[in-house]
Copies of this chain bind each other. A is one copy, B any other.
Amino acid sequence: MEAVYVKEEQLRSYCERAFKKYGFNEQDSKTITDVLVAADMYGIETHGSQRLEMYRQHIQKGYIEVGAQPSVAFETGISAVVDGNRAMGQVVSKYAMDIAIEKAKKSGIGMVTVRNSNHYGIAGYYSNMASEQGMIGISMTNSFPVVVPTFGRKPMMGTNPIAVSIPAKPNTFYFDVATSVAALGKVEVRNKKGVDLPVGWGVNEEGKDEVNPQHLFDNVMNREGGMHPVGGSSQLFGSHKGYGFSLLVEFLTGVLSNGVTSNHTEEDGIMGVCHYFMAIDPKVFGDPEAITEKWSTYLQELRDSEKAYGQDRIYTHGEKEAEKEEAYKKSGVPILPKTIEEMKNLANQLGMDFGIDA
């Protein structure tokens, strides 16, 4: 199936209009749309506009309270605890990262932990908010439980992404990864394609290797099996390392915020997802320009270093996203015909124009 290329502005308009139909105000609709379209522009379609349906379901389930706004529950000059008040994750998270950035401008650092929020889209959108202002940005979230501890079979951690953005030339260093061996979206993609999973991605309800993507997905939904952390199932390749990074995310999000860890999300009709945001002004370590210069030089040395057999390019993090964004600004965003069809149906159901040339 050939993808349809949709102009960024049309996609943006479609999303904004849909979120207004969901009941969000103008400003919130713009905020949410900006996060989703950023994912589409980076080529991370699992976190882009095709998530409109998921968010509608989360509203229907009562996870997301349309119109709710986050508030500060506790703060110091360098830190804050934000209560998301069950508002939309993107609205909560932009609010929280704005606070982290403001504190970093005054105090050199801002650390904000968030409880009682919802699915926030791509982690890296928020870390980029800091790097766009010349700062080091960090963003993390927990989620519903997907990942098992090393030697376990019950999902106890979320996919728990960690995103870090650091100013660099020619592109921002942009590192945004799930601490699971792969994102859950990749299991869905393999399921659609009818391709087995590699051994080491997941474990089933009996605690044995699972390679069937549909079965793994069902197991995760039933909380009876799950994905492995980065490093896979065995200490031989560092499963305990991915497990540890995942736990750091749980601590900074669910624990420090006095919220919930991933194994207690989606209880009592509340999603309860928790986030963590940090902004650091590099000035507190010296001359920001010199730091960016040294960092950019190193990244170039990495890209220029000798390649493995059969490889012709070494990437540094953020290059792929920057290249996709540049290409899609010209070509439009590629969207599968099936997704286009779903978007059309949604527009009909919401009683709004489709507004996309496809």
List residues 316-331 of chain A with CB under 8 A from any CB of chain B: 316-317
Contact assessment for A238 and B231 in the assembled complex, using a CB-CB cutoff below 8 Å: yes
Contact assessment for A257 and B285 in the assembled complex, using a CB-CB cutoff below 8 Å: yes
List residues 79-134 of chain A with CB under 8 A from any CB of chain B: 79, 81, 107-109, 111, 113
Q: Is A336 an interface residue (CB 8 A)?
A: no
Tell me the minimal C-beta distance from A139 to chain B in angstroms: 14
Give the number of times this chain occurs in the complex, counting copies: 2
CB nearest to A284 among chain B residues? B79
Q: Mark A59-86, 1 if CB is under 8 A from B, else 0.
A: 0000000000000001011110100000
Contact assessment for B152 and A305 in the assembled complex, using a CB-CB cutoff below 8 Å: yes
CB nearest to A297 among chain B residues? B261
Bound CA–CA A151/B258 (angstroms) = 41
Residues of B near A285 (CB, < 8 A) are 74, 79, 81, 111, 113, 256-257
A: interface residue count bin? 35 or more
- Pick out which of these stretches binds chain B: A1-9, A28-36, A41-49, A174-182: A174-182
Residues of B near A208 (CB, < 8 A) are 308-309
Contact assessment for A111 and B113 in the assembled complex, using a CB-CB cutoff below 8 Å: no
Residues of B near A310 (CB, < 8 A) are 207
Q: A258 touches which one: B77, B247, B294 (CB < 8 A)?
A: B294
